[in-house]
Amino acid sequence: MGLKAVPMRYLGLILSVMVCGCLLFLSLPPSVLADGGMISISIAEHISIDEPGQKAIIAWDGQQEILILSTDVYAEGNTTALRIIPLPSQPDRIEQGDFNSFLRIRDLIYDRFRHRHTWLDCPGGKGGGDGEGVDIVFHEKIGAHDIWVAKATDAAELIKWAEQFLARNQIQYQISSPGLELLAAQYIQEGIQFFVFDLIELSVDQKSVEPIVYQFQSDTLYYPLKTSSIIPGYTQISLFLLTLEALVDVSQLPENQSEENGMGMNIAKANGKRVQFELGEEELASIDPRLTELLPGHAWLTAVQSYDPRDYRLGIPLASLDKDVKLTRASFGELPGGGGGTPGWVWWLVGLAVVAIGGLLYVTRMWRRWQRGNW
């Protein structure tokens, strides 16, 4: 038995209801997801800290960088975490960030690709005093963060200062280790002499700590990874790059190779497409207004993630992170054939057009019935 044809007078109404329902469904926000951070060390030996991933927003104009670090860490009890971040130059600005920056990035990607993925899971002490080869160039308490920036020319003196710094904050923790001192020496030899020491107050009830925004001079798009290599375990890394041109050459990404052959970092994919598209000034400002000072007018958003084809859920070994992210201008250029998914405004225009057509069909049908007196 065949289905009866839908009367023409109902067709427009049905189309309108269906499209409105679809638009309502598409407009529902994805579930709120957590954002990870870099490397943290628990000061209390009996309390463990879980930091399941590293997430950062990195804006770079070829000369300056704005680095927004997420700080979602989970502690089994009240404790203090120490984060060490090497930077290529003295920060021009260190300020409190906003959780919404990462949520806005997530929403912009979802708006383009209608895709949810795990890599989108976004989310006062006393100084130690200067020592030989160590100068304190910044100190400020920002929310739960007690941030110190030290300029070091000697790795051993830097570690010595760090231990004094912890002791004077009444924190008994042996930070010195051959691995950490060797790593600090490598950074200093490479010309990276500024080290951020961030003491973060954590409590068992606290789910998130406010992000921190760093702005500094850099001739490469920079993100430190090697500091994580001295800690055992695994991590997942998600970096959201904002640049004047699109990332077209991924060969400078750490351990970049085909996903079938080994672990490394590459441009993330959603529904088979690279997560890479252009943002307007308003979209950029919605992430963080400070970004438009660095990238006026527009920017390319590129999502970069770590991968291990053996087990995507596990992440990559921290010990394998022996190279920082340093992308030169040669890695960026014009993207062949455009890039990214369909802009969100296109979806809305298509939806509105269908609603308009459905409404027009309905009104036309009613008009004809009225003309025939069959109202």
Q: What's the mean pLDDT in 351-375?
A: 73
How sure is the predictor about 359, in pLDDT bands with cuts at 50, 70 and 90?
confident
Lowest mean pLDDT among 89-103, 149-163, 222-236, 305-319: 305-319
The answer as to whether 184 is a domain residue is yes
What does 284-335 look like in DSSP terms, one character per residue? HHHH-THHHHHS-SEEEEEEEEEE-TT-TTT-EEGGG--S-EEE-GGGEEPP
The domain of 58 spans 31-342
The answer as to whether 325 is a domain residue is yes
> Residue 305 pLDDT more than 50?
yes
> Residue 62 pLDDT more than 80?
yes
Q: What's the mean pLDDT in 82-103?
A: 93
> Residue 4 pLDDT more than 90?
no
pLDDT at 89: 97
CA distance 327 to 181: 26
Query: Burial letters for 185-217: b for 16+ Cβ neighbours within 10 Å, e otherwise?
Result: bebbeeebbbbbbbbbbbeeeeebbebbbbbbe
pLDDT at 303: 94
Mean pLDDT value across the chain: 76
The answer as to whether 354 is a domain residue is no
Lowest mean pLDDT among 15-29, 156-170, 184-198, 251-265: 15-29
> Residue 346 pLDDT more than 60?
no
How sure is the predictor about 11, in pLDDT bands with cuts at 50, 70 and 90?
very low
The answer as to whether 123 is a domain residue is yes
What global pTM score does this model have?
A: 0.75
The answer as to whether 1 is a domain residue is no
**Which one has a higher pLDDT value, 237 or 90?**
90
pLDDT at 58: 98
Region of residue 62 (phi > 0: left; psi between -120 and 50: alpha; otherwise: beta): left
> Residue 149 pLDDT more than 70?
yes
The answer as to whether 13 is a domain residue is no
> Residue 61 pLDDT more than 70?
yes
> Residue 37 pLDDT more than 60?
no
pLDDT at 42: 55
**Which one has a higher pLDDT value, 269 or 45?**
269
The answer as to whether 229 is a domain residue is yes
How sure is the predictor about 123, in pLDDT bands with cuts at 50, 70 and 90?
very low
**What whole-number percentage of the chain has pLDDT above 70?**
66
Domain count, the chain: 1
The answer as to whether 102 is a domain residue is yes
Taking the CB of residue 48, how many other CB atoms lie within 10 A of it? Answer: 12
- Copy the structure tokens of residue 3: 């289905």
pLDDT at 319: 73
CATH of the domain at 121: 2.60.250
Lowest mean pLDDT among 43-47, 178-182, 205-209: 43-47
> Residue 68 pLDDT more than 60?
yes
CA distance 223 to 244: 18
pLDDT tens column, 199-256: 887 776 655 678 999 999 999 999 998 887 776 677 788 899 999 999 999 989 987 5
